[in-house]
Amino acid sequence: VFPEARDASEAAAQEIATLVRSRAAEGRTCILGLATGSTVVKVYSALVRMHQEQGLSFENVAVFVLDEFLPMTPECLQSHVRFIYEHLLDHIDVPRDRIFVPDGTVSQDQLSDYCLKFENRIDEMGGIDMLLLGIGRTGHIGFNEPGSGTDSRTRPITLDAITRIDSASNFFGVENVPRRAITMGVGTILDARRIILLAFGEGKASIVARAVEGEVAPSVPATFLQQHDDVEFFLDSAAAANLE
């Protein structure tokens, strides 16, 4: 628990930087899984600053983004692909052929094939070394809404009404928020070797307490993180307020 979101974000960025550097020293690729959304913005600005001011290189990095709205075109203001380029990838040196963002333009009949290929690509690259997560008020990680089990893999999912309400301001009205998304599954997430989840602000306090201290159940997918042996929550004091 950190006093401010900025401190937590800086610490998360430092952990990512340390891992990227140690993989580079070993001549290995570092596979990062990355969330989008307001929570992770400061982590990405810290990484950009480390690249620009301290020469931190991402040449040995591959990036898999967790999720994307469906349908969604890349140039749309709210697309996750646009978010991750604008906040991070346009400003650092991750090789372009090692950036993988779920494609929100895939047609319905191609979807299951596409999701399987996305999943296989993660395996072929050697699996995710570090996964950076946010958490939704429904307890979603990625877009794994309540009901998602530990065996779920990358797939299309119907978004919870609360998630659509929480996205409404970005879309200028809830009626414009897509009803579906493509997301890595809970199983995909749990396969990551290390997980950092960030949550900030009082609006996240009750779901954070439920995720950390509540019974493990598909009704709150983030509770499955309790079963992972290398996961940390980086919180500000407001998001930690309901923890015992």
Q: Which is nearer to ligand F6R, 48 or 157 (CB)?
A: 157
Least distance CB 205 / ligand F6R (angstroms): 13
Q: Which is nearer to ligand F6R, 60 or 136 (CB)?
A: 136
Q: Which is nearer to ligand F6R, 30 or 141 (CB)?
A: 141
Least distance CB 37 / ligand F6R (angstroms): 3
Least distance CB 151 / ligand F6R (angstroms): 19
The footprint of ligand F6R (CB under 6 A) covers 35-39, 66-67, 80, 134-136, 140-142
Q: Does residue 71 have a cis bond before it (omega within 30 degrees)?
A: yes
Active site residue 59: no
Catalytic residue among 53, 145, 213, 244: 145
Least distance CB 142 / ligand F6R (angstroms): 5
Indicate the residue whose CB is closest to ligand F6R. 134
Q: Which is nearer to ligand F6R, 60 or 106 (CB)?
A: 106
- List active site positions: 145
